[in-house]
Amino acid sequence: MTPLPRSALCVLALGLIAGYVDAVGYVELHGIFTAAMTGNSTTFGIALADGDRVRTVAVGTVLALFFCGALGASLLRRVLPAYRHEWLWMAGLLIVAQSVHWSHAAGSSSRVETLLLAVAMAMQGEALSRFSGVSVQTIVVTNNIVKFSDNIAGFLYAIWRKENEFTLVSTLPGLGWAGCIAGAFLSVFAREVSSGFFLAPVPLLVGLFFLWPDEG
């Protein structure tokens, strides 16, 4: 597989993982995201102003863990042989989260497993954000929407000038956005059909580990 299609597949897969994990965390943490820290930061400020101590502590804990996860991932990246090894660490965190989830009574959950998801998402966001020379953050959908709309505007402008500049590279932010939506969509069905829904992204992460080259 050539570098550009591989990048497209990687962006789509990571976007799907982020959307899936964020949706699962949102449900399990009752309205707190495990990847979308913009929403959590806004919620934290509102809860702080309202004097909602329980919500402030809950959201603040997720924000702190996400920050620590990104910090730890950055340090880890400096000692690992390649970026892609962090995806195996993420897979390990999801396996631990599933083990914790299974330790509860059927139909119940704690915040421990979803806090592990926040750390995993921080690792994903820190590990790799450039694909085929293009900056695409797979856990920040807002930025991808803006970039994709800009690429489409550039394409329409090129048509007006009788040019054709829209390439697979231009679709990468859109693929990240689409993957996020697809992941959230699939999470609903995964939670209904299996108690092992935390494990669903693991095969994708392992596959990406073998797909991505050492220089990635």
Measured from the Cβ of residue 174, the count of other Cβ atoms closer than 10 Å reads 20
Mean pLDDT of the chain: 86
Structure tokens at 127: 């590990």
Question: pLDDT tens digit string along 71-83?
Answer: 888 888 788 777 7
Distance (Å) of CA 162 to CA 70, 166, 214: 45, 12, 40
What is the arithmetic mean of pLDDT over 206-210? Answer: 89
Q: Is the pLDDT of residue 95 over 80?
A: yes
What is the arithmetic mean of pLDDT over 121-134? Answer: 83
pLDDT at 140: 83
Q: Is the pLDDT of residue 164 over 70?
A: no
pLDDT over 90 for what percent of the chain?
40
Rg (CA), the chain: 18
Asked if residue 58 lies in contact with residue 29, where contact means CB atoms within 8 angstroms, the answer is yes
Question: pLDDT tens digit string along 36-73?
Answer: 898 899 999 999 999 999 999 989 999 998 998 888 88
Q: How confident is the model at residue 5 (pLDDT cuts 50, 70, 90)?
A: confident
Side chain identity at residue 47, one-letter code: A
Three-state SS letters, 135-179: ECCCCCHHHHHHHHHHHHHHHHHHHHCCCCCCCHHHHHHHHHHHH
